[in-house]
Amino acid sequence: MLLAGDIGGTSTRLGLFDRAPDRPRQVAIRTFPTAEHNDLSSLLSAFREDAAVKGTSIERACFGVAGPVAGDRAALTNVSPPWTIEARTIAQAFGIQRVSLVNDLQALGYAVPVLLPSEVAVLQEGAAVDGGNVALIAAGTGLGESILHAVDGTFVPVASEGGHADFAARTEREIVVLRDLIQRSGHASVEQVLSGRGLVNLHRVTHAGPCPAVEDLDSPDAPAAIAQAALERRCRGCVDALGMFVDAYGAEAGNLALRALATGGVFIGGGIAPKILPSLIDGRFIRAFVDKELPFRELLEKIPVKVILNEHAALVGAAVRAAAL
């Protein structure tokens, strides 16, 4: 059996998978609140006690971690106190032959080649170039980016800190956002626009007066409330904020596609995209995606762009990686 993990600051998903020719077959998936455990070993012990998992033998494991990974050590920094995860410790404690730690976007990247048509929504059909790289961008609590390098007929996803690169403003209104962010924090990273908190930052510049949809912008529920109000057209300012979010998301996906020369396709992961799908499929995202100078617009118009709908995709990717260890 294969053990796959998607370890985040808020929740951790663990999955037991069986080897299969095309892609590992899911046996059991469980979700745990990360903060209720002191470390990964405690969480894995709880998973091992689960009726569907108890008594099974695990040969390979791979964990995607939302934090920096160096060799066989990873740090999960957005829990307090931070977790240190060591592959060797996990392997010894649970009798697993091989354990691999990867960045969470890398884990998602390993799933991309095995996603089924029913697990994606197509924003732009395009035509994938054989042997072309693939780019992956995922806005959620933060912004993750990864390039899947096409090497010898396979894809190698690499980790990055692309979300912390500078926000590239394209319009007068985005320059207002840029100024506001620099005044507030001294920097304007692209993650400060393209994340849950990013939607809140955009909300600030699209509301002159009170917002009928969101009372407390500091609440963790504020991003979802803004998106919901926008999709239901209950507040003009929220509609505006979500529109700016989609524009910036499309433009950054286009930037990443150019940097990666992602003629194999661009995939949109993360928790936000499936929740705002109606505002992504109406053409606005793709208009921003291809909005570069010629002849690069033509290059971008040929790239397939797809939203990943399977919420367990990162787990599937970790299982794919575990199977290859």
Q: Nearer to Zn ion by C-beta: 238 or 313? A: 238
Q: Nearer to Zn ion by C-beta: 85 or 225? A: 225
The candidate with the shortest Cα–Cα distance to 83, out of 43, 47, 38, 33, is: 38
- The SS3 call for residue 226 is helix
Here's the x/- map for Zn ion, 237-276, by CB under 5 A: it reads as xx--------------------------------------
Query: Which range touches Zn ion (CB under 5 A), out of 58-66, 157-165, 180-188, 209-217?
Result: 209-217
**Which residue type sits at 6?**
D
Smallest separation (angstroms) from Zn ion to the CB of 225? 9
Q: Nearer to Zn ion by C-beta: 240 or 291? A: 240
Q: Nearer to Zn ion by C-beta: 105 or 229? A: 229
Q: Which of 211, 246, 253, 303 binds Zn ion (CB under 5 A)?
A: 211
- DSSP states of 13-67: EEEEEE--SSSPEEEEEEEEEGGGSSSHHHHHHHHHTSTTTTT----EEEEEESS
Q: Which of 14, 61, 76, 213 binds Zn ion (CB under 5 A)?
A: 213
- The SS3 call for residue 189 is strand
Smallest separation (angstroms) from Zn ion to the CB of 222? 10
Q: Nearer to Zn ion by C-beta: 91 or 225? A: 225
Smallest separation (angstroms) from Zn ion to the CB of 234? 8
**# binding residues, Zn ion (CB under 5 A):** 5
Token pair belonging to 11? 């929740």
Smallest separation (angstroms) from Zn ion to the CB of 175? 22
Tokens 């090497």 label which residue? 151
Site for Zn ion in 221-240 (CB under 5 A): 235, 237-238
User: What phi-psi label fits residue 126: left (phi over 0), alpha (psi between -120 and 50 degrees) or beta?
Assistant: left
For residue 167, what is the enclosing H or E element? none
Beta strands across the sheet bearing 83-86 = 69-70, 73-76, 83-86
Question: CA 212 to CA 238: how far, in whole Å?
Answer: 9
Contact 313, 319 (CB under 8 A): no
96: Cβ–Cβ under 8 A, 6 or more apart, which residues?
A: 3, 58, 59, 60, 61, 90
Here's the x/- map for Zn ion, 159-198, by CB under 5 A: it reads as ----------------------------------------
- The SS3 call for residue 4 is strand
Q: Nearer to Zn ion by C-beta: 115 or 276? A: 276
Q: Nearer to Zn ion by C-beta: 74 or 211? A: 211
Contact footprint for Zn ion (CB under 5 A):
211, 213, 235, 237-238
